[in-house]
Chains A and B, each alone.
Chain A
Amino acid sequence: MENLPWIFISALLVNNFVLTYFLGLCPFLGVSNSLETSFRLGLATTFVMLVTAVCAWVLNTYILIHAPYLRLICFIVVIASTVQFIEMLIKKLSPALFRAMGIFLPLITTNCAILGLAIFATNRGYGFVEGIVYALGAGIGFTLAMVLLAGLREESELSNIPKLIQGTAMNLIIAGVLSMAFMGFAGLFSSS
């Protein structure tokens, strides 16, 4: 239990999903052109990650001990259908929340960060509480990276940049610098 904060900080900063594991790059580079949208997408992703962590734990504990080779197929199908179900539920119960999350909720299902979370959590043998904390850290870390990149991109739109480097090339280089900055957090744990 005492390593819960460690799991959280590790997923949030040191092993940030986007900047260290390169997961969820498609939304990271595709949608990060405005601060507002990326923040919302980040929140929606965090939510889906929490759901995924619970699903993965249930599957691992009750079903997949009997058939480990079905793990991948099970994860994909169960996660996709659960998210679809929750989407319908939110639409029914709270239309305002549904509008806020918008198109992102279904899109997130195909985000590799979600599947990655389930697989990493399984490989490390996390239990229920650990899985949820891990998902929370990963989700907030994803939001943080998205918002940082979106902020930088909004700034860069106002400045005079050569035409050649605009677009994906520049975003990747910005992400590279961000990733270097996040590497500094690795020092948080080396002494303990």
Chain B
Amino acid sequence: MKKNESYEELVKGIWRDNPVFVQVLGMCPMLAVTNSAINAIAMGMASMFVLVGSSFLVSTFRHVIPKQVRISCFIIIIATFVTIADYTLLALVPKVHKELGAFIPLIVANCLILGRQEAFASRYPTKLAVMDALGMAGGFLLALLSLGAVREILGDGALFGVRLFSENFEPWIVMILPPGGFLTLGVILLFFNWFKYKKDEFLADVAEAERSGN
């Protein structure tokens, strides 16, 4: 039972409640840095570190933090983790850090992270909170990666810097420029809408069949 519960928290973030595709949260860093798959992964890992770390702390201290000032406390905890992530990336992968630029400090303002602290980590035990954070961050990473891969393949004809097509491929420059971000996410959301629409139709059909069967 216990194992099931934490497994459930882990999985829901990746698909059913995917933070980007279903809840449409945390889009600012999402669109800005996904012009290549490698940037998307760096951003996703940094966000994952911040989300898991701050969920752990917030959930551990949830009985100590006074209700009235909780938001400020969460923000200070998040900002601390973001600073750590910022300096770590600068030391390990300076090239990627330079490309992401100001968007690493901006993880602080990602509504996804603050939202998870408020909605989940401050109410549940540490183990569940960490599982939930891992799931949500995994879903976020997945979304970043799919967007980054699509944009890099179409806009640059490459994936992780490896050429995919022959010389004749004419890259769609617009995909790695800002409009490409909006368009790609729009089309992916369209696909999710269609998926949901089909599922609702299917469920309605099943209900109809059951009613007529009885």
Contacts and interface: CB of A to CB of B under 8 A. Distances in A.
B106 interface: yes
Interface string A64-100: 0000010111001100100000000000000000000
Contact of A164 (B31, B108, B197): B197
Given A110-B111, A116-B102, A164-B194, A169 B189 contact: yes
A168 to B, nearest CB: 5
Interface majority SS (helix, strand, loop, mixed), chain B: helix
A99 to B, nearest CB: 24
Given A73-B76, A112-B110, A173-B182, A183 B177 contact: yes
Interface string A122-150: 01000000000000000000000000000
25 contacts: A19-B178, A20-B178, A22-B27, A22-B28, A22-B181, A29-B24, A71-B105, A72-B79, A73-B79, A76-B108, A77-B72, A110-B109, A112-B28, A114-B109, A115-B108, A116-B106, A119-B105, A169-B189, A170-B186, A172-B182, A172-B183, A172-B189, A175-B186, A176-B179, A176-B181
Interface string B130-158: 00000000000000000000000000000
Interface string B29-55: 111100000000000000000000000
Nearest to B191: A169
Interface in B68-106: 72, 75-76, 79-80, 82-83, 86-87, 101-102, 105-106
Interface majority SS (helix, strand, loop, mixed), chain A: helix
A158 interface: no
B185 interface: yes
Interface of A: 19-26, 29, 69, 71-73, 76-77, 80, 110-112, 114-116, 119-120, 123, 163-165, 167-173, 175-177, 179-180, 183
Interface residues on B, range: 35 or more
Given A72-B82, A72-B86, A172 B109 contact: no
B174 interface: yes
A179 B180 CA distance: 9
Contacts of A173: 182-183, 186-187
Given A167-B193, A169-B190, A172-B185, A69 B83 contact: yes
B114 interface: yes
Nearest to A115: B109
Contacts of A115: 105-106, 108-109
A172 B186 contact: yes
A177 B180 CA distance: 9
B69 to A, nearest CB: 12
A73 B178 CA distance: 29
B182 A175 contact: yes
B116 to A, nearest CB: 14
A80 B75 contact: yes
